[in-house]
Chain A
Amino acid sequence: MQHTPFDLQLLNACAAILLLLSFAMLAQRRIVALVNLLALQGAMLFIATMLLAWRTGQNHLYVSAALTLGLKVIALPWLLHGLIKRLNVQWDSEPLLNVPGTMLIGLVTVVFSFGLAQPIAQLASTATRNSLGIAVAVILLAFITMITRRKAMSQVVGFLSMENGLFFGAMSATYGMPMIVEFGVALDVLVAMLVLGVFFFQIREQFDSLDLANLESLKEDQ
């Protein structure tokens, strides 16, 4: 067993908890808890970014950590909770969800993404390159979360979780994206969130529910 420095151990622990939170989101039926898990994932990302910034001395990582804290831990969950309250869907839960089956698919996905990331991680020169597999896994698990959900709200949470995974991947492979890209992505996510918030109201006005199964049938068929 080789000895790893303590801050790297902490970073690895953060990465592991990120993965665990993705699984928790995959199994969570209730929308309010889902948003809280998303906020927790953002908080983990914030801690990991701070640790990495402190470890590598790259000052721009502090900025992106602050961005993560402001956007993903405070602003987006606050917006989502507000939307949930205004749409009055606090007690919404996903009816069709085979939790053991979803988890097994999730585990296979994790194995797949670890295998996928291995050769890429060999090319990276960062100390955290092993976490790249976890970042890919978080992205794919968020995909599964989006695919298995029927409610618009949970799909948006899955989308935001995917963004978390992308951010973590960039961080572990190259110590973060260029600042301008990071700001761009942050703005994109925020705008997407606002637009989707408007969409929620439109969807509900049309169909009296946020169930996206309603969007699957064409108008001519009815």
Chain B
Amino acid sequence: MSTVAWLTQFLEVLAALTLAPLFLGWVNACRAWLQNRRAPSVLLPYHGIRKLFHKDAVIAASASPLFRLAPYVVFGAMVAAAAVIPSMGTGLPFRSAADAIALVGLLAIARVFMSLAAMDIGTAFGTLGARRDMMIGFLAEPALLMVIFVASLISATTALPLIAERVMVQPLALYPSLAFTAVAFTMVLLAENARIPVDNPATHLELTMIHEAMLLEYSARHLALMEWAAALKLFNYACIGFALFVPWGASIGETGIGPLALSIPALLAKLGVAGLWLALLETVSAKLRVFRAPEFMATAFMFAVLGLLVHLLLGA
């Protein structure tokens, strides 16, 4: 492995860690603008995380070691996921481990630990949030896997960097199957990251909350890690979307320092557009009742399977 490949890998993880809160802040700012509100600073998530790191942690008396462990596992899983997603270049040293199914597994580990930690204290809210999150997860995961299968069928590999590479190399063509799966992926992204049609990220202490309910017992550095992990998750999902559908701009294979330098503004531009798009989607849609969420996820699954079937039939 060349030094440039390692540099790409290092830069990718660094970019994920530093840009994830910025991306979250950008989405929130766009949402505020679209709703005719004055936007909070784009840097607000950084301030929140920094503030939380300086506080003393309070832990419930009934907490088991798992409760303390969970934030580190969740955060670690998200960083590991960021390392295998080709956001800047496809010639990663971790390329052989960057299987899309393994990636879905990493995201599932984070979810399991988060739910276990939420149930650990034994409060009603935590258990409620964990159950709802598991419900969303078990409905969203098949859709996500189907999305990945379609991309894998088209490029004949399940390795995310290779998928991105093949999409960039092959001549441009109209793929209705990819368009369908892109819709499905967007829906999965919204559901998995507790965005508006499924969960409202702006509410706190409401009966409909899902993600917030699981974090109620956390404080200080644990909460900071959890929130940072949530930002990383959103960033990771956005980067998976880029790798599957719009990988252009990332450096292909093992190249020099030039394409790598070019991939940074490309990534920033893609993130900017994606943030605006997400904010727009969240502004025009209303939050669903929790019991309508399965319908939402079934639609995502339907889109993904339809993409698969259309690809198998039409070869497009």
Contacts and interface: CB of A to CB of B under 8 A. Distances in A.
B205 interface: no
Contacts of A104: 298
B298 A130 contact: no
B154 A1 contact: yes
A16 B312 CA distance: 12
A70 B248 CA distance: 43
Interface stretch (B57-65, B107-115, B172-180, B193-201): B172-180
A111 B310 CA distance: 10
A20 B180 contact: yes
Given A99-B298, A100-B295, A100-B298, A16 B180 contact: yes
Contacts of A2: 315
Contacts of B305: 107
A103 B298 contact: yes
Contact of A134 (B173, B298, B313): B313
B306 A17 contact: no
Nearest to A99: B295
A12 interface: yes
B177 A16 contact: yes
Contact of A114 (B176, B298, B312): B312
Nearest to A2: B315
Contacts of A157: none
B309 A114 contact: yes
Interface in B158-175: 170-171, 173-174
Contacts of B298: 99-100, 103-104
Given A20-B306, A100-B298, A107-B305, A13 B174 contact: yes
B312 to A, nearest CB: 7
Nearest to B183: A20
Residues of B contacting A: mostly:
helix
Interface string A6-19: 10011011011101
Given A4-B316, A114-B312, A23 B171 contact: no
Given A6-B174, A110-B306, A16 B314 contact: yes
Interface residues on A, range: 20 to 34
B314 A12 contact: yes
A23 B306 contact: yes
B294 interface: yes
A13 B311 CA distance: 11
Contacts of B316: 4, 9, 12-13, 16
Contacts of B219: none
A110 B312 CA distance: 12
Contacts of A15: 176, 310, 314
B309 A9 contact: no
A4 B309 CA distance: 18
A62 B301 CA distance: 37
Given A103-B299, A107-B306, A16 B315 contact: no
Given A3-B171, A103-B299, A13 B306 contact: no
Given A17-B176, A100-B298, A133 B313 contact: yes
A69 interface: no
B101 interface: no
Contact of A130 (B173, B294, B315): B315
A193 B85 CA distance: 55
A3 B154 CA distance: 13
A107 B302 CA distance: 7
B10 to A, nearest CB: 34
A1 B313 contact: no
A160 B99 CA distance: 46
A186 interface: no
Contacts of B315: 2, 4, 130
Contact of B310 (A4, A9, A19, A103): A19
**Considering the complex of A and B, which 5 residue pairs feature the smallest CB-CB distances, nearest first?**
A16-B176, A100-B298, A9-B174, A12-B314, A13-B176
Interface of A: 1-4, 6, 9-10, 12-13, 15-17, 19-20, 23, 27, 99-100, 103-104, 106-107, 110-111, 114, 130-131, 133-134
30 contacts: A1-B170, A2-B315, A3-B171, A3-B173, A4-B315, A6-B174, A12-B316, A15-B310, A15-B314, A16-B179, A16-B306, A16-B314, A19-B306, A19-B310, A20-B180, A20-B306, A23-B302, A23-B306, A99-B298, A100-B295, A103-B298, A103-B301, A103-B302, A107-B302, A107-B309, A114-B313, A130-B313, A130-B315, A133-B313, A134-B313
